[in-house]
Amino acid sequence: MTSSQDWGLARRIGFRFGIVFGALVLYPFPLSVLPELDWLTGPLHKPLEWATLWFAQAVLGLPEPAIAFNGSGDRTFDYVQLLLFATLGVIGAVVWSALDRRRSYPRLAAAAHVVLRYSLACAMLSYGLSKVFRFQFSDLSPYNLRTVLADSSPMGLLWKFMDYSAPYTRFGGLCEAIPGFLLLWRRTATIGAVMVIAVMTNVVMLNLCYDVPVKLYSTRLLVMAGLIAVPDARRLLAAALGRAAAEVPARVRMSPRRERVRQIAKAAFLLAVAVELALRFDGRRRNDPDNELYGNWVVDTFSADGVERPPLTTDPLRWQSVTANKTAVAIWLMSGDSDPPATGRRMYPWKVDAASHTITVTLEKQDETWHYARPDPDHLVIDGVHLGASLHVTLHARPSELMTRGFHWINEKPFNR
């Protein structure tokens, strides 16, 4: 990429397209990875947002696409934006090619390589650390333990698979963060990029196969890693096949003063990125209080308005079990098990106060306050008025096979169910 000879026509045009398209895709990097700059990057994003909305409606004739951030990177908006950028890239490349007589762009290519490295490094560090610190995937809740695989979405299947294992999630995070780190230095960038190619190929496949709406973004990161590795690809392949490989010429040094400025700027940038990551992850730390009822409970007896109701699966009122998450409760009705779960299950936000042994359940229209007692750690008694009926419910704890299995060096036989 930094060869001093003339480039071929196709390479020149392709390069110009890549620069215009890439600048649009990465904009406003590096401002987007610096701390406390949301007030600036928000407005900077606006023109591209407006252009995309205009393009969607005026050119493509689509209804106005939603732009609210909701965790999906594969919205109609994102596809339209990609198409817009590709179109602008083509127009830009045509205009540039018509006006510019230069035969190669070694310095611009070197600069683009640096920008690619840093932006990919920031993305991999951010994803990696959010796995290492268990933000992207966190602990399996009692509710997740109570549901069958059939009622998951494919994305939910992947999420709960990862949620279960903290060690595996952290391993996955390190597989992203370590190559991200290696990308920050020229010498180690190729190794980092090759590792990113391996890891992101897996992530792209997971996103495609499990309906995770990060298909475009993960593919973009994979392509960027490929572009970073391209200048070295031939040498690496030759070495792997047992052939000789030449040395990469060392970077041309600038004047000592400019080298010092460069070093200080790099150190300042890395520090700023580190601060941004630290602030982001610290702000996202979950402080949901654990409550002493956290877990799954099976109903033994159920009285409504003084009348005990037998456990008939045709009874629309009687509870079958209670799932106590940190800030929400799910009540599974007797009539629910064979129906779609939405009809056989009620979910409410709740708050458990261990001091006064009360539960505050938030229904649509009003709050209910229930009282509870713990005759022993495995049993629970709930008294309260729920939806107009005065309830007295006794329950026992339901341990989970999954969470109690643990690690085993020796398995006399596989335990697969």
Which residues 59-78 are close enough to bind another protein by CB under 8 A?
Answer: 66, 70-72, 74-76
| In contact, 200 and 222? CB cutoff 8 Å | yes
Contact between 217 and another protein per CB under 8 A: no
> Is the CB of 339 or the CB of 378 nearer to another protein?
339
Structure tokens at 89: 């890239």
Residue 122, number of CB atoms within 10 A of its CB: 22
Contact between 3 and another protein per CB under 8 A: no
The distance of closest approach from Cβ of residue 338 to another protein in the complex, given in angstroms and rounded to an integer, is: 4
Structure tokens at 341: 């779960």
Task: Determine the size of the site formed for another protein (CB under 8 A).
Answer: 94
Stretch near another protein under the rule CB under 8 A, chosen from 50-58, 108-116, 381-389, 398-406: 398-406
Q: Which of 45, 235, 346, 379 binds another protein (CB under 8 A)?
A: 235
Q: Which of 101, 107, 187, 365 binds another protein (CB under 8 A)?
A: 187
The distance of closest approach from Cβ of residue 76 to another protein in the complex, given in angstroms and rounded to an integer, is: 6
Identify which of 89, 81, 74 has the alpha carbon closest to the alpha carbon of residue 50: 81
Question: Taking CB under 8 A as the criterion, which residues in 264-323 touch another protein?
Answer: 296, 298, 310-314, 320-321
Residue 51, number of CB atoms within 10 A of its CB: 16
Structure tokens at 24: 């649009």
> Is the CB of 246 or the CB of 355 nearer to another protein?
246
Contact between 4 and another protein per CB under 8 A: no
The distance of closest approach from Cβ of residue 13 to another protein in the complex, given in angstroms and rounded to an integer, is: 29
Over the window 128 to 157, marking each residue x when it contacts another protein by CB under 8 A and - when it does not, the resulting string is ------------x---xxxxxxxxxxxxxx
| In contact, 88 and 21? CB cutoff 8 Å | yes
Contact between 407 and another protein per CB under 8 A: yes
| In contact, 179 and 117? CB cutoff 8 Å | no
| In contact, 145 and 400? CB cutoff 8 Å | yes
Q: Which residues contact 82 (CB under 8 A, 6 or more apart)?
A: 216
The distance of closest approach from Cβ of residue 215 to another protein in the complex, given in angstroms and rounded to an integer, is: 8
Compute CA 150 distance to the chain's CA centroid, rounded to the nearest angstrom. Answer: 23
Stretch near another protein under the rule CB under 8 A, chosen from 38-46, 102-110, 205-213, 380-388: 205-213
Q: Which of 4, 5, 366, 411 binds another protein (CB under 8 A)?
A: 411
Residue 69, number of CB atoms within 10 A of its CB: 8
Rounded distance between C-alpha atoms, residue 140 and residue 75, angstroms:
28
Contact between 405 and another protein per CB under 8 A: yes
HSE of 162, CA atoms in CB hemisphere, 13 A:
21
Stretch near another protein under the rule CB under 8 A, chosen from 4-12, 35-43, 188-196, 373-381: 188-196
What is the DSSP annotation of 114-145?
HHHHHHHHHHHHHHHHHHHTTSSS-PPPHHHH
Identify which of 71, 77, 32, 18 has the alpha carbon closest to the alpha carbon of residue 51: 77
Question: Taking CB under 8 A as the criterion, which residues in 6-65 touch another protein?
Answer: none
What is the DSSP annotation of 32-43?
GGSTT-HHHHHH
Contact between 245 and another protein per CB under 8 A: yes
Q: Which of 338, 356, 365, 377 binds another protein (CB under 8 A)?
A: 338
Question: Taking CB under 8 A as the criterion, which residues in 358-387 touch another protein?
Answer: none
> Is the CB of 27 or the CB of 133 nearer to another protein?
133
Stretch near another protein under the rule CB under 8 A, chosen from 32-40, 100-108, 245-253, 377-385: 245-253
| In contact, 281 and 129? CB cutoff 8 Å | yes
Compute CA 314 distance to the chain's CA centroid, rounded to the nearest angstrom. Answer: 41
Contact between 168 and another protein per CB under 8 A: yes
Contact between 232 and another protein per CB under 8 A: yes
Rounded distance between C-alpha atoms, residue 351 and residue 361, angstroms:
7
Q: Which of 61, 167, 377, 388 binds another protein (CB under 8 A)?
A: 167
Rounded distance between C-alpha atoms, residue 191 and residue 236, angstroms:
10
Stretch near another protein under the rule CB under 8 A, chosen from 92-100, 231-239, 261-269, 349-357: 231-239
Stretch near another protein under the rule CB under 8 A, chosen from 24-32, 40-48, 258-266, 405-413: 405-413
